[in-house]
Structure 1
């Protein structure tokens, strides 16, 4: 079968994968099964945690024995472990498939290894077909799986001169309605939204994702509050549709580790400049989303504080991967040029609590 046939089937599998939920523990995966002549005989995709994986979904559309000698094209390497469902690698072997073509390798310690198991059972395995496209599609899930912690997006909104508030501390609203609505859409696309205790004490945010009319959007992120200060029992965050996760610590790596164990794969950080700086300094930011308003504020309230750059040669150079105009504002998305996190981890200063600057913001 020609390579072009595998690529065509992989693109179809990618389109099928897009039907699955974009958030949660499991990746979006699509699968196409081809007969010996290259004709499609079954398709499937993963519909979320606890449901059949894409390969099993596709096999379920065939009668027993119909998959024998077929080629299975799947966006992610078939899993090799038993969770809520059994290993797809074993199911494919038992179905008698002749060949498995996949795009991206499964980085999971427990779930990975399906390709090796298939190969050892005599199944021909071809990996990396449209790998770059599928890597981009899986965006934040793959890095989270590789890192063993949530993929962290750090967002802030500022004036053109990098200020998040005026000299008197007022900040509503730096950006306009269209940009603020885009933030709510990004909240909905995240598993958790993280702020510091200072933000809760000063702004009393609900940390919900809301529509144009203020209505709750169908999916809500888990609210997470980091810091050691007490927050009032009547804070708006306690009226969130999900019970908030309160993390009375300054250890951000520990917080992310716990969230990962709770199934969080995409974290959206919206705290003040100290929390933002702490995440950056800890080497825990994978993506920046910066909203720029065409205004000048001056003054002390910068978006981030000292991140250890003493000279221009030490500047962390990023790649702008997205620019969107929203009303009169701009949204800029940036990633590190060389992979990894936005900043390499530095040793945190234990004498500098997370609330020290947020009280000023």
Structure 2
């Protein structure tokens, strides 16, 4: 039995030598022992990979880097090290686990929720670190979609490490759903949030809009804002509403890490505006091209942009196909007139309408939160 099979425990049959001799005489007869051992090995792989995926949930959100967990398991099935990534610039999950294991890392199987990285950034390549530590086998769930960091599996194989990838990939990818799509697209994942009346108005005819939705809905918005890297509005919203664009508690106090505030447009924002406060950093992006703004944000490490601009900016993103998710808070209120949810989309006939898939519907206080995505979109 080799080291990677040892995790499966002792052979399941007492007469293994006799069975092996019989199979040698009749090579076409299936080997039930091998099949059973493979099943047990895969079952063990699933258990340890799920632990790695669970550890990945401890990684910070938001962050430019993916959330990753790692588990090191000795040939006798003992877990000798665990770790997860604590954020950009800190050791990766594999390094954390190797440090926890120390000399016990030699000969282990490493279970990682994402393919070990293969590049040198703020830290060195994890694939090389695993090989140098004497790890015998690496099992990872999600292949790395980042072309800059991918290829760790090949590097490990070249170093003589047994590698298996793709098991529980969907479960691991769900932990990094937004990051994965952002990396594949080469731009931030964009969530458009809008609060409106039942007839689709975001403000009354006299421009009053506070508050269309309830305190419960507003608290929910702050909870979701906290998971984003940036909050984006246009100069129209900045001038009309003088927003803070921060994450706050029910008493209006700042909580946790603040997203980057981003203002798109050419009109100057007065120095007295709240967007110039020290509560959070603000980036002013000139022009009116959503793709240009997103490209700049992606280069700055922004992976999830929370779009809170008005109808005109929302329409610009939708026209360019740059909205990945829509979060709508609907109040049980009718206005009959006022600002619409979205501006002109350039659609002249029903056949050209933008269709959406309903992902989730949840009551929030007296309001309803809808989460939607462009119809038929694949992550």
What CA RMSD, in Å, does the superposition of the two structures yield over aligned residues?
1.5
Counterpart check, 1:47 vs 2:72? no
Task: Indicate yes or no: 2:306 matched with 1:234.
Answer: no
- Give the counterpart of 1:7 among 42, 46, 51: 46
2:291 counterpart residue number? 253
Contact 2:202 2:338 in 1 (8 A): no
Picking from 44, 49, 62, the partner of 2:101 is 62
- From 211, 224, 230, give the equivalent of 1:192: 230
**Cα deviation code 1:100-130 (max 9, x no counterpart):** 1111111112111111111222222211111
Q: Which structure 2 residue ranges, 5 or more long, are not aligned? A: 1-7, 9-40
User: CA–CA distance in 2 between the matches of 1:336 and 1:37?
Assistant: 48
Q: Which residue of 1 aligns with 2:251?
A: 213
1:86 is matched with which residue: 109, 119, 124? 124
**Deviation of 1:290 (Å):** 0.6
Counterpart for residue 62 of structure 2: 23
CA shift digits 1:191-239 (9 cap, x unpaired): 1100010111111111111101111111111111011111111111001
The alpha carbon displacement at 1:297 in A equals: 1.5
Q: Distance in 2 between matches of 1:212 and 1:320?
A: 29
SS of match in other structure, 1:140 = helix
Question: d(CA) in 2 for partners of 1:238 and 1:340?
Answer: 38
Asked whether the equivalents of residues 207 and 240 of structure 1 are also in contact (C-alpha less than 8 Å), the reply is no
Number of residue pairs matched?
Answer: 340
Partner Cα separation in structure 2 for residue 278 and residue 92 of structure 1? 46
Distance in structure 2 (CA, Å) of the matches to 1:203 and 1:215: 19
Larger gyration radius, structure 1 or structure 2 = 2
- Residues 340, 225 of structure 1: alpha-carbon distance in 2 compared, 3 angstrom cutoff: farther
User: 1:286·1:340 contact (CA, 8 Å) conserved in 2?
Assistant: no
Q: Counterpart of 1:353?
A: none
The gaps in structure 1 that reach 5 residues or longer are 342-361
**Corresponding residue SS for 2:102:** coil
- Aligned pairs for 1:157-306 (under 5 A) are 157-299=195-337, 301-306=339-344
User: CA–CA distance in 1 between the matches of 2:320 and 2:295?
Assistant: 14
Q: Is 1:121–2:159 an aligned residue pair?
A: yes
Q: TM-score, normalised to structure 1's length? A: 0.90
Indicate conservation of the 8 Å contact 1:291/1:331, yes or no. yes
Higher helix proportion (structure 1 or 2): 2
Cα deviation 1:152-172 (Å, max 9, x = unaligned) = 110101111111112222211
